[in-house]
A and B are shown apart, each in its own frame.
Chain A
Amino acid sequence: MSWQRLDARMILADALRVLVSLLPGVLALLLTGFEPEPLAIGPLAGLAVWGVAGAVADVVRWATTRYRITDAYVERRTGLFVRTHRSVRRDRIRSVDTSARLIQRLAGLRRVTIGAGQMNTAMEAAFTLDALSKRDAEALRRRLTGSAPEPSAEPMAAFQWRWIVYNVTGIWALVTAAGLMWGGFWTAASFGLDPGAWLNSLADWEELGPVPTAATAFAAAVLLGGVGRACSFVTEHAHFRLDRIPGEEGGTILRTTQGLFKTREVTRDDRRLRGVTVSEPLLWRWMGMADTTVITTGLSMWSSSVSVLPRGPVRLARRVAAAVIGDPALGTPLRRHPRAALRRRLLWGVLTASAGALLVLPAGSTPGAVAFAVLLPPALGLACAGHLALGHAVAGDYLVVRAGAMTRATSALRRDAVSGVQVRQSLLQWRLGLAGVWAMTAAGEGAYGARDMAAAEAAGFASAALPGYVEQFRAGSLPADRTPLTFSVPGAG
């Protein structure tokens, strides 16, 4: 295949972009009779400059970028002043995403992101081709991943409107509200309106008093933020579906497609799949909220590609997780950890509260005592939650561990993916008869641990995590040359 250009319709999309970015400024000038607020002219001018500069940069990029696909490599040359030539081996390609912004969508363009899993070297995709025509993008994706264009008849999961409930809550709703209000205020100001006066005229705030005013403001912010979050959730996740489709060389691929205006498609090679994690945030445990992510090599655990299901009900999350790994391991009853683990956590809770109190102590003993009294209950509560979350199990081919006070994460990791084990024990843990066992792996977080399990069971669990290798090092077994051992374990007695 010879060197090819990006799609020429980019120019059209850029013209559209310039138009859209100039529009608010022109409107504002018309509405205010060419005498805009000096403070408001900044954002509008900024928007116009951003639009024009972006379009110019895009045209330059179109003119200077070439790409080609050979039997072994995907290559791209780009840049005007700094020429770069990047090539990626095709067998290293882990994911091919297509997405489109609204304007690109109108112009029939798709942005193709090729990921080669530079998990350890750089937190970025191998490269992007921005943009190709919809048909070219689909052909390219099919050529690189070998996936069929048509989804299987029945998706493993599909968008449900009730998921919105799970995605409007939380601290981000308030952040969204703040952003919306700030944006709204400036937009209104640039059109010569005074939102402050309008808010004042809504009610007699003086008479209501500060507490109801604050409560009303908070409720309004939560409501506004919730609506904002709901809109962004729907635009991002509408048409969501999760499929397992055939891939190249007889393998299979997990594919998610989602998005209202901007379609995002992520494919994950099942041969790289090592397990799955379901995490449940503590504050929303009562409504059964859960996130579902896959443990896979080659994808950074911070990348959103590891998420195979939007935040939603935990029962669905568990069902999808079981379907993804094709094993009911996550549902295995877990072995709880000893009460000593609770004692350790309670001690840490008291220490944390004391440290907090100590920081306030220079201000006097009363603030110190108050700080201690305020900090202690949540610290002890978290200690209990942390202990209740602890658990581990060996379920067939999988290792299951659960931990986390604020976010309880249950992970199932394939045993044949474990590349080493680590057992840790501090002096305090030794005193309490506890130890932690970590299974090392190339995928996901790199290590999945059963924290604070009974020390006497640690070697057995380590042995189950790495079958065939740990037995020779367990207490009672002799080194390879059968020399009788006279060993002393420090602190034993």
Chain B
Amino acid sequence: MVNREVLLRPPRHRVERRAILLWAARALGVVLPLAGALAVAHALWDAVRPWTGPGLLALAVAGPVYATGMPLWRYAVHRWETTDDAVYAAAGWFVREWRIAPVSRIQTVDTVRGPFEQLLGLSTLTVTTASSSGAIRISGLDPQQATRAAERLSEITGRTPGDAT
């Protein structure tokens, strides 16, 4: 029996439970317009019904499953942690990813709040390094917590010499 697990421990902190609503809202933001477009086409245009019919049916089954399953799955996976010398985050659902960046390589630390996030009282912490594909994005944080983490990281980064490349 092969070991299937990536032998990294989960980061310490879960994200806020409200993040489930955020992800559900985002899922609906994809599913509903798609369903709407299909329904309009189905209602107005006879010729496409052989395609839109099964499409709508599939969406009716897969849409709710996606909009409830994905957020719960994400909530089980998404975790984060900062230590004195590194940032560590786990994210994803179907594809899980773990990212680790040394604080000494951090270039910018941002907190971002989109409209949905403001409504739900959430915040996203974005940590970028010099790599074009290296940003660590931790969504679903409590705004105060995110701000504190950002301030702490910026402070440690400021103490570390070097140009981070």
A residues sitting closer than 8 Å to B (CB atoms) are 119-120, 297, 338, 340, 417, 419-427, 430-433, 435, 438, 440-443, 446-447, 454-456, 458-460, 462, 466, 468-470, 472-477, 479-480, 483, 485, 487, 489-490, 492
Contacts and interface: CB of A to CB of B under 8 A. Distances in A.
Contacts of B98: 422-423, 473
A119 B84 CA distance: 31
4 tightest Cβ-Cβ pairs between the two chains A and B: A442-B130, A440-B134, A440-B131, A420-B101
B135 to A, nearest CB: 9
Contacts of A470: 8, 100
Contacts of B95: 424-427
Classify chain B: how many residues form its interface, as a range. Answer: 35 or more
B85 A425 contact: no
Nearest to B101: A420
Given A419-B105, A421-B99, A469-B86, A489 B131 contact: no
A55 to B, nearest CB: 41
Nearest to B83: A480
Contacts of A466: 100, 102
5 contacts: A421-B99, A427-B95, A479-B9, A479-B12, A487-B10
A446 B131 contact: yes
B136 interface: yes
Contacts of B81: 473, 479
B65 to A, nearest CB: 15
Nearest to B9: A475
Contacts of A447: 131, 133-134
B164 A419 contact: yes
B41 to A, nearest CB: 19
B5 interface: yes
A139 B36 CA distance: 67
Contacts of B157: none
B3 A458 contact: no
A311 to B, nearest CB: 26
A469 B9 contact: no
Contact of B134 (A419, A430, A462, A474): A419
A424 B7 contact: no
Contact of A475 (B8, B92, B133, B136): B8
B159 interface: no
B131 to A, nearest CB: 4
Given A419-B165, A420-B100, A479-B81, A455 B134 contact: no
A394 B113 CA distance: 40
Contacts of A469: 85-86, 100, 102
B100 A489 contact: no
